[in-house]
Amino acid sequence: MIPADEALQRLIEGNRRFVDGETRNDAQANPALRESLKDGQAPFAAVLGCADSRVPVEAVFDQTLGDLFVVRVAGHVPTPAPVGSLEFAAHKFGTRLIVVLGHACCGAVQAALDPTPHALSPELDAIVSAIRTSLAGEADSGAKAPEAQLERAVRTHVRATVEALRHHPGLAGLIADDGLRVVGAEYALDSGEVTFLDER
């Protein structure tokens, strides 16, 4: 079991390599690694990220097969299936770091900010409604420009998701007694840099 602080440092270092164009992992070209993982896994971190095609989690953190337990859903909403998946990683594999990874220009967050929402299917509406709940008051928060409002809303939603996970019954005990950490982060589409938010 890798402690949360060590896992976080691995992600920070991997993202630095990614930003600098010095990545070292090429999972698809490593048959020996694939063979070594066929009987089990021990991911050192779990990531709840958005399904946006511009944010491939393993690439962003320069990690390879078996390193990360990745759960992706539009807007990284903490609905039962994603949260249950994170619980599985923490309980089954001993993963002691969960990262909620939001990103700039998130379309799902933008949809939640829309004052005149369009008709959505029940499935899409569930995602947007969950994000809208985490942004309560954001639409009237006094942003001077839509871009600034979206930027702040992305971070607000990341922080709300982190708090939801920290207080979830399936994770709270591991946080209190067994070294599990849940942290928030934001990915910049232009630079590729991941900024970790409100570390404590």
Q: Assign residue 146 the CATH number of its domain.
A: 3.40.1050.10
> What is the pLDDT averaged over residues 168-174?
96
Report if pTM > 0.85: yes
Residue 200 lies inside a defined structural domain of this protein = no
Tell me which residue range forms the domain holding 140.
Answer: 4-195
Cα 185 from Cα 103, distance rounded (Å): 8
CB 65 within 8 A of CB 34: yes
- Reported residue count of the chain is 200
Which among 181, 114, 189, 195 has a CA at the least distance from the CA of 150?
A: 114
Specify if 88 maps to a domain. Answer: yes
Residue 141 has pLDDT above 80, yes or no: no
Amino acid 28: pLDDT: 62
User: What's the total number of domains in the chain?
Assistant: 1
- Would the pLDDT of 144 be above 80? no
Q: Looking at 71-85, 89-103, 140-154, 166-180, which range is the least confident one?
A: 140-154
Neighbours of 58 (CB within 10 A): 16
3-state secondary structure of 196: strand
User: Across the chain, what does the average pLDDT equal?
Assistant: 91
Q: CA 2 to CA 6: how far, in whole Å?
A: 7
Read off the pLDDT of each residue in 126-143 and give the average, rounded to a whole number: 78
For residue 137, is it within any domain?
A: yes
Average pLDDT over residues 68-84: 96
Check whether 178 has a pLDDT greater than 80.
Answer: yes
pLDDT at 105: 95
- Helix/strand/coil for 31: helix
